[in-house]
Every structure is written in C-alpha cells, then in structure tokens.
Amino acid sequence: MSRESSVRRTASVLTVLTAAVSLAACGSLGGGTSEDEDDGDGVITFWHYYGDAHGVPLQAMLDKYSDESGVEVEARFIPFDDFNRTLQQAAAAGTLPDIALINAFDTTQMAEAGIIEDLTPYAEEWGEQDAYYETGWESGQVDGATYAIPHLADVYALYYNEDVLAEADVEVPETWDELEAAATKITQSDAAPNGLAMSGIEGAEGATGVLLRTLAAGGDLADFGGEAGVAALESMQRMTESGGLSEGFLTWNEDDAMAAFTNGEAGMAINSASAINVIRESAPDLAWSVAPLPEDVTEATFLSAENLTIGAGSGDADAAWDLIEWMQQPSELEEYLPARNKLPARDDVPGAVTDPERATFADQLVNAWAPNGDMAARSNEALTLVQQALQSVISGAASPTDAAADTQAAIDEAMGS
Amino acid sequence: MTAAAPVHVEIPPGLARPGRRGRRARRLLAPALFVLPAVVFVGATVVYPLLYSVLQSFFDVGLREVVQGGARWAGLDNYVDQFGRSRFWYSFFISIVYAAGSVVLTFAAGLGLALLLRRAFRGRNVLRALILIAWVLPTVVSANVWRWLLDGSYGLLNAALRAVGLLEGDLFWLGRPVTAIAAVVVATAWSFAPFAMILLSAGLEGISRTLYEAARIDGASPWQQFRYITRPQLRPVALAALLLIFIYTFKTFDTIFLMTAGGPGGATTTLPVYAYNEAFEFSRFDTAAVATTVLMVVPIVLSVAYFRTLRKENA
C-alpha cells in the first residue's frame, strides 16, 4: 500500500469516526429537558421583552415587590425577535426562568410544548378569573387548563389628526365605507400626503389592518377565504388605488405608520394604545384624538396582549405565583399600566384608564377578538398568510377573490399540519 | 595520553530506535495527528450540525420534540409532504431565479471590473480599494442602504428618476414582485461582484502577455483577442468563480430577509427564507430540515459536476 493511500485511509477512518460520534450524539432528536428542575434558590428569574422605555415601569414594579417582600427578582430583557427562540433553547437545556412574560397568542404553543407550567391549581385557589375580560382570559386557557395569567391588554383604534380632517372637510369616520371615503378625500384635497396609515409589512404584524377589516365584515381568521376576507382585501385595494392609503404601507411596521401620523404625513392611523405616549412626547402640539374602529357588519377590534407564565420545572413556582398574584392587584396595575402605556386585562382597574384617549381604547376591550383553540397555536402562520394575500392583491399579482381562496387553502393546510 | 574507556549506555526501551514496522506506523500516525485538530473542529462545527440537520428531516420534529425530545421516526414522510407542496416548489423556483440572476449579474460585473482594472491608469489602486468596500461592508448595512435607496416615497432612486422626468408619483420597488426580485438580485450582485473581480483578476493575470502580443502582431482586434485568448484561457477560473457565486447566492438569506423578508406576497421567498419561516416562525423543524437538505444537495451536485468536468479536461 502506498504512503498516500495509507494517509488517505487514516483520514477516512477519522472522518467516519467523527461522523459516528456526531450521529451517536444526535441520539433521539430534540432536547431533553425539563426534568431538570432548577434548584429553588429563592431568587425569581423573570424574562421579558420590554426594551428601552417599556422596561422601566416593569423594573420599578419588580423592585417594589422585592422591597416589600424581601424576595430577590432577577429580570432579564430579551429582544422580542429572539424571545421565543431563547425560551425554546432554555427549555431544551433545562434552564427556563421562573416567570416568562410571553405574547398571549403563544400560550397554547408553549403549553403544548411543555415549556410552561399548568397554573390551574394556583388560579382556582386565587379565584379572580371573573375579573378578567373573557377574550384575554381565554388566551391563557389550553384544553381547559390555565397556563397563563393575562398581564395587560391592548387593542386597536383609529387615531385622527383634527386639523387634517377639518382641512379636508371630513367627519370622523364611523364605518369602513366612511373611512375609505375620508382617506381618499384627505389625500385628494392635499390635507395630508396619506389619508390613512397602518402597517402592512411582511409577516404577522402587517396583517392587522386587513384582519380588523375582515372582523368588521363579520369574518374570522379561520374563514378568511369567505366573503368577509374578500371584502377586506377589496377595501385595501380600493384605498391604495384611490391614494387614500399609500402602497408604501406594505413596507411600514406599526412604528413607521405612527411616525407618518405624528409627522403630519397621514390624516388617520390605525394603531394600538401603545402609541399614545409616543405621540404626546414626540408631537406635543399635534391636535389629535382617538375614535373607536369603524364598524361594518359588526364592531370589532383585535386584542394584543401579554401573559404571565411559570417556566416548566421551576423550583420556585410558589414564589413565582406569589409575584404574579401581587402584580395583578388592581392597586399595583393602576400605578403600573399608565406608565407602561397599556390597558388592563381586567375590568376592575378604572384608575388605569382615566384619560379620555385611553378610555376610548378600554371601551373596546369587550369587543376584542383573539385567536383561540387550535388557531391560537397557528395564528402567527395564519396571519403571515393573510399578509401575503394582502401583498398579492396590492401588487396586482392576484385578485382579492383568488388571494383569499389561496390563503384559505394555505390556512387549512397549516391547521392540518 | 590514554585511550578513553568505551562507555556502555543503556537506551530505555521507549527511546530505542524503532523497528521497520514502528517507523512505518509513526510515519503514518504523524500526519494523522497533525490533521486531527482540524478534523475534530470541522466535525464539531460542520459535520455534526450538518448530519443533525439531515437526520432531523427524517423525524417528526415540532416544538414539543425540540423541547422534550422523543421525536418519532418519519422516514421519507417529510420529503413526500414537502415535495407535494406548491409553496415548497415555488420557493425552489424563486431560489433558482434569484441565484441565476445574481450569478449572471455578478459574473458580468466582476469580469467587467477585472478587465477594467487590468489596464494601467492613474488611481487604479484607489478604485480597486473603493470597489472592495461593497464586499467588505456588512450585509445588514448594505441591505438597509438598498432599502432606503429603493424606498417608494423618499428613496434616492425615485428622486433621481423624478428629477429627470422618468417618474411621476411613487414607485415601490420592493412592494411589487418583479421589481422586488430584481432589486434583491442587484443588491446581491453589487456586494458580491468585487469577490468575482478578485477571482477573475487572478485568472487574467495568469494569461501570458506574449499571447496578446502575438495576436496584436497578427492584427487581431480587441474583441478577437478577448474571444480567442481571454475567454478560453480564463475558462477554468471562470467556471470556479461561477460555481462559487452560485453556491453563495443559492444559500443567501440575510440580504433578502433584510430587504423584503421574502415579500411581497412570497415573491422573494427563497429556500433559505422558506426554511427560516418553517423553523423559527412556524416551529416545523422537520420540514425546515427538508428545505435545508435540498439547499445543501443542489450545490453539492453542481460541485461534483464541476470537478468531473475538470477531471475530464485534465485527462
């Protein structure tokens, strides 16, 4: 055997060995987890995705709890885009936090994956579920068990620039037809470059506007291919064609849309209550107000919420629950929510919605829609598909009817997977 | 002067001069030990994740299995499922369109720049350095710059087009399917053309100048010189460059994700974006693994074909 072939053979053996070790390491695919309970060291680890200014009121609240109870709370901020992935990795590694503040619509998925604890015994003993708005409370229920407690809520409403509407001589719209007409008139009268601003960006975030229109038309995410979904897509198409809604909304996220409104480049905007403080701080001289979302067949808005959960295998579950319970006291929420710029998830916190703008949002909480059941677990995908339908229609790649039908087929496929 | 007494030294067994077999074993072992760190490194950082990913495509892996383990063996079910979905093939088609467009544009721009910079002129080195900036620039910067340039309302491109009277109103380049795919192709070619230029410049430097001198003496025009000397002489390097550009663009994720996130309406959802969505948006890690396996197989097949061609030519 030549020297070269010997070396080659040795290298091959090493490679095969490496591969074998790799495969052996693969073992049964996936992680292995949560049997490793944490040590129950009495320190409550608390993961959240409230960055910058949003994190300040939360940290103040946690500090207050530590001062009062003497329990150390270790908060960790993880950016929203990385939050679920980090939580999943922590679950696979058995290093979950004691408390995770998650997007409400991820609750089902997290519960089914075994990432969060069943809180039913705690919740039943606590007995305050009746204080919560039904849609929000339902977002924490999975197969009849309580896996999450609503932390706060938010809904969408219509912001309008009073000066722009006066200049264009339009009234605050109360129906979607009036909204379309008002948006067109604002643009055509040059009162503002855009009649309406909202997010239409790629992904679930950009589906909010078309979903709100679908809900108002009596539809739902699960039956988007029906008349309501087609009507919603046609409405968006009409508004972009008339110039009332810039085609550029397909590249806007919610912050971009609010920036356009705050800068006076849009006469109206659809957004959540989170934007209230932003406008007050960045455009103190702007004459603006908020109206409930326009109606069509029905009056509906979309719930945006966050839930408090306990990580699977937490060794400090009792202490974590004590903190959750403390955070949900109306007296604490009254102090926290206005600073956090959000709405209460329960209806016994009147002090959190004393200003008229915030009250307009709070009044809509009873009409708030949220995905539930199997749709909750697949809502991110379904909303992404709805946004793609919107893009197809606006770009002229598909008619509203075809886009809605294709989306329905894709949603059905996703729900079946 | 007395003669030194002979000294008998006992050599420990380990230091004894090895026999023929021992010498041979050591000769074979030494190179293997030298490559061992590299093999371990590549095994841990390339082979293991790669095999894991391929293996994952044969299991039923959702979020629950990632967290709790116990994935069920699915055989070829994931492949059958994905190969039966129009969205998968649409992404594959978009990937091919994007990669082909990027390869053609990158290669043409790289060759043009290489030919330009082969000529001696003042400021050549400065120009070469400036061109390389496009390649050195982090993708997150270049992709966002392109987004801004192509913005429908405030973008520089539209402002220029309006200034010369070619455009009225807004044109959202990234909001329409055809212009969006063209935009990501141009952005990719812009950032990768300098790399092609470097490869092709090296190839051009390898062509003997005497060939051009002889051709000029025989009265060959510049085009004839390019056609009959540059093109055939550059072929091996050009093929390697084309292959590398294809592999790079076929797996590109960042530029597209940052510019369009796969939109509008999925028009720029290439296989890497599709795989990302499947895994990290929709928690279907098994079907994402199918997409990444296909993503890996296509360049491998092309590479094998390339090396076979080379071997045939060298034979």
Q: pLDDT digits over A157-175, tens only?
A: 999 999 999 999 999 999 9
Indicate if A187 and A215 belong to the same structural domain.
yes
Of the listed ranges A145-149, A276-280, B272-276, the one predicted with least confidence: A276-280
Please give the pLDDT value at position A34. 44
**Radius of gyration (C-alpha) of chain B in whole angstroms:** 28
Cβ pair A26:B51 closer than 8 A = yes
**Residues of chain A found within 8 Å of residue B175, distances taken between Cβ atoms:** 247-248, 250-251, 391, 394-395
pLDDT-derived band of residue B14, with 50, 70 and 90 as boundaries?
A: low
Topology, domain B87-209+236-314: MetI-like fold (1.10.3720)
pLDDT score at B107: 96
Contact A6 B28 (CB under 8 A): yes
Same domain, A141 and A84: yes
* pLDDT value, residue B17: 61
Domain boundaries defined on chain B:
87-209+236-314
Residue B28 is predicted with a pLDDT of: 81
Q: CA of B306 to nearest chain A CA: how many angstroms apart?
A: 22
Give A-chain residues touching B260 at CB under 8 angstroms.
202
For the record, the structure tokens of A391 come out as 């893009």
Q: What is the mean pLDDT of residues B87-107?
A: 95
Residue A72 has pLDDT above 90, yes or no: yes
Decide if B268 contacts B184 (C-beta within 8 A). Answer: yes
Pick from B64, B68, B146, B181 the residue to mutate for testing the A interface (most A CBs within 10 Å). B68
Q: Same domain for A127 and A166?
A: no
Residue B7 confidence (pLDDT) above 60:
no
- Residue A266: pLDDT band with limits 50, 70, 90: very high
Q: Is the bond into B264 cis (omega within 30 degrees of 0)?
A: yes
Average pLDDT (B51-77) is 90
Please check the confidence at residue B282 and state whether its pLDDT lies above 60. Answer: yes
B53-68 mean pLDDT: 90
Residue B47, min C-alpha distance to chain A (Å): 7
**pLDDT single digits (tens) B146-165:** 999 998 878 899 999 999 98
Q: Is A286 on the interface with B (CB under 8 A)?
A: no
Q: Are residues A165 and A291 in the same domain?
A: yes
Cβ distance B281 to A398 less than 8 Å, yes or no, reads no
Is there a contact between A44 and B69 (Cβ–Cβ < 8 Å)? no
Rounded Cα–Cα distance for residues B239 and A21 (Å): 36
Both A128 and A247 in one domain: the answer is no
Provide the shortest C-alpha distance from residue A221 to chain B (in Å): 16
CA distance A328 to chain B (A): 29
Q: Is the pLDDT of residue A29 over 80?
A: no
pLDDT for res A373: 77
pLDDT tens digits for range A252-265: 888 889 999 999 99
Residues of chain B with Cβ-Cβ distance to A25 below 8 Å are: 48
Q: A108: domain range? A: 44-154+304-363
Residue A11's pLDDT is what? 47
Q: Which residues in chain B have Cβ-Cβ distances shorter than 8 Å to A398?
A: 265
Query: Is the ipTM value over 0.85, yes or no?
Result: no
Q: How confident is the model at residue A376 (pLDDT cuts 50, 70, 90)?
A: confident
pLDDT at A54: 80
Q: What per-residue confidence (pLDDT) applies to A14?
A: 46
Contact: B61, A33; criterion CB under 8 Å: no
The distance from CA A22 to its chain's CA centroid, rounded to whole angstroms, is 39
> H or E stretch including A180?
helix A176-188
Chain B contact for A10, CB < 8 A? yes
Q: Are A248 and A392 part of one and the same domain?
A: yes
Q: Beginning with the edge strand found earlier in the chain, give each strand of the sheet holding A73-77 in spatial order.
A: A73-77, A44-48, A99-103, A304-310, A149-154
Is A223 in contact with A408 (CB distance < 8 Å)? yes
Contact B66 A31 (CB under 8 A): yes
Decide if B43 and A21 are in contact by the 8 Å CB cutoff: yes
Query: Average pLDDT of chain A?
Result: 88
pLDDT at A35: 46
- Residue where the block lists tokens 């004839």: B224
- Nearest chain B CA: its distance from A359 CA (Å): 34
- Specify whether the CB–CB gap between B147 and B259 falls below 8 A: yes
The pLDDT confidence band at residue B257, using thresholds 50, 70 and 90, is very high
Q: Of A141, A139, A45, whose CA–CA distance to A99 is shortest?
A: A45
Q: Which residues of B touch A389 (CB under 8 A)?
A: 265
For residue B60, the SS3 value is: strand
Complete DSSP assignment for A62-73: HHHHHHHH---E
pLDDT at A26: 38
In a domain, A171, yes or no: yes
Please give, rounded to a whole number of angstroms, the shortest distance from the CA of A292 to a CA of chain B.
29
Residue of chain B nearest A385, judged by CA positions: B265
Query: Are A277 and A138 within one domain?
Result: no
Residue found by looking up tokens 């600073």 in the block: A339
* A145 and B CB contact within 8 Å: no
* Contact across the interface for A417 and B284, Cβ inside 8 Å: yes
Residue B26 pLDDT exceeds 90: no
Beta carbons of B175 and A388 less than 8 Å apart: no
Question: How many CB pairs (< 8 A) connect A and B?
Answer: 166
Q: What is the pLDDT of residue A25?
A: 40
Which tops the pLDDT comparison, A200 or A251? A200
Beta pairing partners, A102: A307
Between B253 and A396, residue with greater pLDDT: B253
Minimum-distance CB partner of A29 among B32, B61, B265: B61
Examine residue A13 and state whether it is found in any structural domain, yes or no: no
| pLDDT mean over B56-63 | 92
Say what the pLDDT of residue A36 is: 47
Query: Is the separation of the CB atoms in A156 and A212 below 8 Å?
Result: yes
Shared-domain flag, residues A297 and A309: no
Output the CA–CA distances (angstroms, integers) from residue B170 to A129, A194, A246, B157, B203, in the order listed. 51, 12, 9, 11, 44
Min distance A394 CA to chain B CA atoms (Å): 8
- Single-letter residue type at A176: W
Q: Which of B95, B82, B85 is nearest to B269 (CA)?
A: B95
* pLDDT computed for residue A146 by the predictor: 96
Task: Please classify residue A263 by burial: count the beta carbons closer than 10 Å to its beta carbon, then call 0-12 exposed, 13-18 middle and 19+ buried.
Answer: middle
**Chain B contact present for A109, CB below 8 A:** yes
Contact B31 A246 (CB under 8 A): no
What CA–CA distance (Å, rounded) separates A157 from A270?
Answer: 6
Q: Does A103 touch chain B (CB under 8 A)?
A: no
Residue A7, Cα to own-chain centre: how many angstroms? 58
State the pLDDT at residue B73: 92
Shortest Cα distance from B223 to chain A (angstroms)?
43
Instruction: Pick B65's closest partner by Cβ from A25, A29, A394.
Output: A29
Query: For residue B260, how many other CB atoms are within 10 A of its CB?
Result: 28
- Total number of domains in chain A: 2
C-alpha distances in Å from residue A120, one per residue of A238, A332, B68, B144: 48, 23, 22, 47
Q: Say whether both A297 and A381 belong to one domain.
A: yes
Contact A248 B177 (CB under 8 A): no
Q: Examine the domain organization and report whether A82 and A117 are in the same domain.
A: yes
Name which of A234-243, A343-352, B102-111 the model is least confident about.
A343-352
Query: Across the interface, which of A3, A30, A390 has its CB nearest the CB of B70?
Result: A30
DSSP letters, A190-244, are TSSSEEEE----TTGGGGHHHHHHHHHTT--STTTTSHHHHHHHHHHHHHHHHTS
Residues within 8 A of B (CB atoms), A 180-239 only: 193, 201-203
pLDDT of A289 above 90:
yes
A143 at B interface, C-beta within 8 A: no
A106 and A206 housed in the same domain: no
Same domain, A120 and A244: no
Q: What CATH number does the domain containing A206 carry? A: 3.40.190.10
- Nearest neighbour of A22 by CB, restricted to B47, B56, B280: B47
Q: Is the pLDDT of residue A27 over 90?
A: no
The answer to whether the CB atoms of B281 and A21 lie below 8 A apart is: no
Q: State the pLDDT at residue A81.
A: 81
pLDDT at A395: 86
Report the DSSP pairing between strands A301-302 and A368-369.
parallel
The token duo for A56 is 């300040």
pLDDT at A198 over 50: yes
Length of chain B: 315
Angle, helix B20-42 to helix A3-26, in steps of 10 degrees: 40
Q: Chain A contacts of B84, Cβ < 8 Å?
A: none
pLDDT range class, residue A1, cuts 50, 70, 90: very low
A30 close contact with B: CB closer than 8 A: yes
